[in-house]
């Protein structure tokens, strides 16, 4: 099953599912034929077959690769490059959450239905 989704800025967002009996990059190549824009995906090399796109890496997948590279028992060892990678991604995610709240608070709350303030412990519900 393949999933293609428009960017978060598109209103309304478009989510398309495509069944294929294979995970070959030819499926993405055919589906995205004529598309000229950004493609954010995991590190799957099959996307290299898609022409005229700008590849973007998904930091959630990058974080997982770093996490999987941490040696057993070293998950708190900041001298380990893989731990540093995980912490860097976590900082990026925190900045992203902060910016969403700061610049786009109303739609963010509408989407979530509520917001929890970690410092005070107060939860507000939005409807």
What does the block give as tokens for 87?
């912490």
Comparison of pLDDT for 90 and 110, the residue scoring more: 90
Domain that holds residue 113: 59-127
Mean pLDDT of 108-117: 58
Last residue of a domain, one of 10, 40, 57: 57
Residue 72 has pLDDT above 90, yes or no: yes
The pLDDT confidence band at residue 71, using thresholds 50, 70 and 90, is very high
Residues 73 and 126 in one domain: yes
Structure tokens at 52: 């005229």
As a whole-number percent, the residues of the chain with pLDDT over 70 amount to: 78
Task: Identify the residue with better confidence: 70 or 55.
Answer: 70
Q: Are 114 and 120 in contact (CB under 8 A)?
A: no
34-59 residue pLDDT tens = 988 888 888 888 888 998 999 888 88
pTM reported for the whole predicted model: 0.62
The DSSP string of 37-85 is: SEEEE-S-GGGGG--S-EEEE-HHHHHHHHHHTSPTT-TT-TTSHHHHH
Instruction: Determine the number of helices (DSSP H) and then strands (DSSP E) in the chain.
Output: 4, 6
Does residue 5 share a domain with residue 52?
yes
Please determine, for residue 17, whether its predicted confidence score (pLDDT) is greater than 80: yes
Checking if the pLDDT of 127 tops 60, the result is no
Domain boundary among 57, 85, 103: 57
């Amino acid at each position: 099953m393949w999933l293609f989704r428009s960017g978060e800025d598109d209103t309304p967002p478009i989510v398309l599912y495509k069944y294929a009996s294979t995970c070959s990059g030819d499926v993405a190549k055919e589906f995205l034929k004529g598309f000229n824009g950004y493609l954010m995906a995991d590190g799957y090399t099959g996307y290299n077959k898609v022409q005229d796109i700008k590849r973007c890496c998904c930091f959630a997948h990058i974080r997982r690769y770093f996490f999987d590279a941490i040696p057993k028992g070293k998950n708190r060892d900041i001298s380990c490059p893989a731990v540093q990678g995980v912490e860097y991604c976590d900082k990026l995610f925190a900045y992203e959450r902060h910016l969403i709240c700061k610049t786009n608070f109303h739609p963010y709350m509408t989407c979530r239905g509520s917001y929890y303030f970690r410092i005070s412990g107060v939860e507000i519900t939005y409807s």
